[in-house]
């Protein structure tokens, strides 16, 4: 159980830019942070390795939950089925719906809420943001509002679902992180788990566009680094 004098939060931490910024924001608030990552059978473990390294360096308690047993329930996605082609190009509903993992955030939030109740934490943080709204229903304000209502009544202890960037785009999230002095070399965004980021998938392109919007250089290495200013990305990780 956490020290009652220090408010605790469970951060759903994927290893990507958004959750990395959320994690550090919670630390800046002086909260006792418990990071929670999930192995749900995603195509590569690169993001989980990054998350583990960051938490180890920060001294933040980090738990990776193995839920691969449900893979057969959520494998109708290019992110969980290696036989499906990963789409490339900017985020848009018409070309990236193949990356939607069925009911992912409801599943992950339910487990994070359970951990929060178990350790006496009053909050769960996750990195839903405004750029996700076009593509992911489980990152939209309506979903967050409904899940917050359920999290308030599902247990004897109410838990708040905290989404600090719900109305912000990725460029705004990055701006906040850069103002905190964060090093985004400690994140992984690419849909592919190769040595270098591909620079072609929607997630890479949106990331590069966010750096361009902030007049900053992405510290990650890329196989191919397109000019995001010439064809800006539309939505998110």
Which of 83, 163, 172, 169 lies closest to 133 in space, CA to CA? Answer: 169
Q: Does 126 show up as a binding residue in the annotation?
A: no
Is 20 marked as a binding-site residue?
yes
Q: Is 16 annotated as a binding residue?
A: yes
Q: Is 204 assigned to a binding site?
A: yes
d(Cα 87, Cα 164) in Å, to the nearest integer?
A: 29
- Token couple for 200: 């072609």
Query: What does the alpha-carbon distance between residue 9 and residue 34 come to, in Å, rounded to a whole number?
Result: 6
Residue with tokens 């917050």: 148
Check the annotation: does 110 bind a ligand: no
In sequence order, what E strands does 56-125 have?
62-66, 123-125
Q: How far, in Å, CA of 150 to CA of 206, rounded?
A: 32
198 is in an annotated binding site: yes
For tokens 């620079």, the residue is: 199
> Is 14 part of any known ligand binding site?
yes
17 marked among binding-site residues: yes
User: Is residue 190 part of an annotated ligand binding site?
Assistant: yes
15 annotated to a ligand binding site: yes
Q: Is 99 annotated as a binding residue?
A: no
Determine whether the annotation assigns residue 55 to a binding site: no
Q: Is 203 annotated as a binding residue?
A: no
Cα Rg for the chain, rounded, in angstroms? 17
Mark out the alpha helices in the chain (DSSP H runs). 17-28, 46-58, 93-96, 104-119, 141-151, 170-179, 202-213
Strand ranges across the sheet with 62-66 = 62-66, 32-39, 8-12, 123-125, 160-162
Residues belonging to the binding site are 13-23, 190, 198, 201, 204
Residues belonging to the binding site for ATP are 13-23
Residues belonging to the binding site for Zn(2+) are 190, 198, 201, 204
């Amino acid at each position: 159980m956490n020290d009652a004098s220090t408010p605790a939060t469970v951060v759903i931490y994927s290893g990507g830019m958004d959750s990395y910024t959320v994690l550090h924001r919670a630390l800046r608030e002086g909260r006792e942070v418990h990071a929670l990552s999930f192995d749900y059978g995603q195509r590569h473990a690169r993001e989980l390795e990054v998350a583990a390294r960051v938490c180890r360096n920060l001294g933040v308690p980090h738990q990776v939950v193995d839920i691969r047993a449900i893979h057969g329930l959520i494998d109708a996605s290019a992110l969980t089925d290696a036989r499906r082609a990963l789409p490339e190009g900017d985020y848009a509903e018409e070309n990236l719906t193949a990356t939607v993992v069925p009911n992912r955030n409801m599943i992950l939030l339910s487990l994070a809420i359970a951990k929060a109740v178990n350790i006496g934490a009053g909050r769960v943080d996750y990195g839903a943001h405004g750029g996700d709204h076009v593509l992911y229903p489980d990152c939209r304000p309506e979903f967050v509002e409904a899940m917050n209502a359920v999290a308030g009544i599902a247990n004897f202890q109410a838990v708040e679902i905290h989404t600090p960037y719900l109305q912000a785009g990725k460029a705004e999230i990055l701006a906040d992180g850069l103002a905190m002095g964060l090093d985004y070399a400690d994140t992984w965004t690419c849909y592919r788990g190769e040595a270098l980021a591909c620079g072609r998938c929607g997630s890479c392109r949106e990331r590069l566009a966010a750096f361009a919007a902030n007049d900053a250089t992405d510290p990650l290495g890329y196989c191919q680094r397109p000019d995001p200013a010439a064809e800006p990305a539309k939505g998110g990780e």
